[in-house]
Structure 1
């Protein structure tokens, strides 16, 4: 059993059975993340059981909000033991820390990247995308209520809203540019590259196109103008970075629609490419 911070311990199943050691550490709460619950239920402790498989690729992030409430209560009342983390669980804990340890992380760009990467792995294993993956699709901005805080991107041809600014998936500009060479044969430095496309999370209007396919074109659902392409195995940005999975929209095919600023305030219009570059910093 290892103390992470005052009142918070991480251990294994055996630690959860060591009543004397638990009492000595002033532990009052025990959080179990395993496929089977503990075989004892002592009245000396408060228990919370979350059924997950103890394998590295199991998703525990989605259970974090309820777990956090239990952990916070345990720290307030004495101490809490959490068991048992594997290296995959530890990676998710690090991701949670990188997202600021907030309970409202579902819209965080890092969480969206994590969720998409897990979905892509399963899609590639099955060699197809079907309606069981619909949960990974972002809301169609055309079908949802307008959010005045959200940048909306519209098809340049017909002005149909196609994705929100919050759907943009970040990547490191120029990563790999020293490996991928230009047509002249010379390697490019990060300062010499730029992004002519943005990568986004898949949006609900794409579902008919995605079904049964691993890659293809992305066309505007209203006017059928080509907006970009998708590939669950990934694609390369113009800046040379490889993004997986890739739902790539060409900046030249969309326009920004900014919310109106409050009276007395002004804003400067940026091109989609400029906004995308700023979002990637």
Structure 2
């Protein structure tokens, strides 16, 4: 049976959801299904159940909805890491006499699955459902995916840390246990101030990681998720205007040393924890037992900056695994990229890597 977490909010598994969809409930009026497939056919494949439904709408990352869409989906247009043709959610009437409202969100229970970019739509549905009745949030076992969604919801609505929110949830359902990847993302959510902040360096690093994993799975890389080209006058102007409106200092810009075209802004930089210089490289490690081969005094300052993929990087857009990064204006070589990663001069390994050599760019302000 479902476990009550808060007023009008329950957590459960697929069996709990199936029971309500088949026989109805005096309490539950809405169901949030977080399964590997958003379709109600998942229940048929699981137990051969036939559950009547009537679609309200489908929404894809990028904001496209079905012809039956009855709600404004303008808030769905910023989908972060999700490719533009990925189904974000399915909304439908379901169950006995079509009295239940069900949202299906496709989410796998794997450590590299993108939880963050599904949180806002789940929260909106939970909030609306609790105002209209009661909502059951369920996944297959009621242990990881549903627990991650509700933990994040408690973090946001009650201003709780990840640890405190999960502890509170376990007081209602002691066996919940989000997978390690979800826990990492919940920690990011906390560090971003209980919101998915696409401008945050934390989120930018996360987005880069997701893009890299998508590439290695063989997925099509959606270049619309690349950072804007800072060398395009309109985009630079809008960035400067946004910074001034927020009272921020103008962001430093990195320019091609040869032609002075802007190739990156400070906001495009993906920070990393410095390594231990030459000692971090594999061939140095193999010789580390040699007392004459010590590098304690070596300068481990980074000789490159690493940025998110940007729309001027044509070789990246064309799908190459690795290659040179050249200025789109004068074709001077600026750096190197590799989806499998590369090692910075400081010794830290960056994956995937979009590297601009400091010797090829100058720093200025716009």
TM-score, normalised on structure 2? Answer: 0.57
Is this contact kept in 1: 2:315–2:325, CA < 8 A?
A: no
1:65 has 2:120 as partner? yes
Partner of 2:228: 139
- Of residues 251, 267, 283, the one that matches 1:166 is 267
- Of residues 146, 153, 165, the one that matches 2:254 is 153
Partner of 2:325: 218
Rounded to whole Å, the distance in 1 between the matches of 2:363 and 2:4 is 49
CA pair 64-198 structure 1, distance change in 2 beyond 3 A: same
CA pair 229-6 structure 1, distance change in 2 beyond 3 A: farther
Give the C-alpha shift of residue 96 in structure 1. 3.0
Number of residue pairs aligned between Structure 1 and Structure 2:
251
Bigger Cα displacement from structure 2, 75-84 vs 142-151? 75-84
Partner of 2:95: 41
Which consecutive residues of structure 2, in runs of 5 or more, have no partner in the other structure? 44-50, 52-93, 140-144, 146-177, 244-250
1:208 has 2:315 as partner? yes
Bigger Cα displacement from structure 2, 171-180 vs 93-102? 171-180
Is this contact kept in 2: 1:124–1:214, CA < 8 A?
A: no
Rounded to whole Å, the distance in 2 between the matches of 1:71 and 1:202 is 34
Rounded to whole Å, the distance in 1 between the matches of 2:350 and 2:123 is 32
TM-score, normalised on structure 1? Answer: 0.72
Bigger Cα displacement from structure 2, 147-156 vs 77-86? 77-86
- Of residues 289, 300, 303, the one that matches 1:196 is 303
Partner of 1:113: 205
Partner of 1:31: 32
Rounded to whole Å, the distance in 1 between the matches of 2:311 and 2:330 is 17
Rounded to whole Å, the distance in 1 between the matches of 2:126 and 2:274 is 38
Rounded to whole Å, the distance in 2 between the matches of 1:95 and 1:213 is 30
Give the C-alpha shift of residue 192 in structure 1. 5.7
CA pair 83-157 structure 1, distance change in 2 beyond 3 A: same
1:13 has 2:26 as partner? no
Matches within 5 A, 1:85-100: 85=145, 87=179, 88-100=181-193
SS at match of 1:186: coil
Is this contact kept in 2: 1:177–1:241, CA < 8 A?
A: no
Give the C-alpha shift of residue 44 in structure 1. 7.0
Give the C-alpha shift of residue 141 in structure 1. 1.2
CA pair 47-235 structure 1, distance change in 2 beyond 3 A: same
- Of residues 189, 192, 195, the one that matches 1:102 is 195
Q: Alpha-carbon deviations, 1:163-217, whole Å to 9, x = none?
A: 122111121122687643499732549x963222111011111123552422122
Give the C-alpha shift of residue 233 in structure 1. 0.8
Give the C-alpha shift of residue 47 in structure 1. 2.9
SS at match of 2:32: strand
SS at match of 2:312: helix
Give the C-alpha shift of residue 248 in structure 1. 0.8
Q: Alpha-carbon deviations, 1:77-108, whole Å to 9, x = none?
A: 665432221625555444433433214x2333
Matches within 5 A, 1:254-269: 254-259=361-366
Give the C-alpha shift of residue 232 in structure 1. 0.9
Rounded to whole Å, the distance in 1 between the matches of 2:271 and 2:100 is 43
